[in-house]
Amino acid sequence: MFSKIAARQLTARAFSAAAHQPPIKVHGIHARYANAAYVAASKQGLLDQVSGELGSLLEATKKHPGLKHLLENPVISREEKSSALETLLSGAASSVTINLLTTMAGNNRLADYDKVVGVYEQLMKATRGEVEATITSADPLTKGQTDQISKAIESELGGSAKKVILSTEVDESLIGGLQVQIGDKFLDLSVSSKIDALSRTPV
């Protein structure tokens, strides 16, 4: 039988492990790498640093074709990619970022780097309580209007969102009103949708 001390130690370890788990569940091959990087970064207190490093490297692949070629060229061996990345990032990136990239290189997954970064950022937004919302309107919105909408969304979410990242689009076919996309939720408050609904109503 376990002693009370051993039981407490196991419980403490379980709570400690849970504390570093991503705030949302994501699935798929890209999520496996992002989840592993998130847990490792959380344990070392490097969540934001790793986020910055991954983002900077992604931007670098857009500016430097040679780096993009290194990551995506299937002719370059896995060993060569791992070695090149270790040399390139040594002293410039955390062990978490280097381990992620060399692991992906070893598994021949570097071509999916941008997708893994995207999932990691999805986890970070959830950690920061950020919610992305897109407002589509018939006419451009003023800053005052977007601020009001942002506060309304925060209120609607019941305080679960610490920050609403709002983007706006214009679609003149809406005639008036708004369309609101919050994550996977969609709300159509446009005049055109009401007219369309009326047109389908039996006379």
pLDDT at residue 190, rounded to an integer: 66
Q: Which residue has the tokens 């949302």?
A: 24
- Order of strands across the sheet with 163-170? 163-170, 130-137, 178-182, 185-188
Q: What is the DSSP string of 121-170?
A: HHHHHHHTTEEEEEEEESSPPPHHHHHHHHHHHHHHTTT--SEEEEEEEE
Q: Model's pTM, two decimal places?
A: 0.67
- Rounded alpha-carbon distances, angstroms, from residue 196 to 84, 139, 151, 171, 188: 58, 20, 29, 16, 12
Cα distance between the two ends of the chain: 76
Q: β-strand 185-188 against 178-182: which pairing, if any?
A: antiparallel
- Return d(Cα 198, Cα 203) in angstroms, integer: 10
| Contact call for residues 199 and 166 (beta carbons, < 8 A) | no
Domains and CATH numbers, the chain: 7-126 (1.10.520.20), 130-199 (no CATH)
Task: Note the pLDDT tens digit of each residue in 115-153.
Answer: 999 999 989 988 888 777 888 888 888 888 888 877 777
Tens digits of per-residue pLDDT, 139-193? 888 888 888 877 777 777 665 556 777 888 888 887 777 788 876 677 776 655 5
Spatial CA neighbour of 21 closest among 31, 8, 7: 31
Residue 197's H or E segment, with its range, is helix 191-199
Opening angle at CA 199, ends 198 and 203, nearest 5: 85
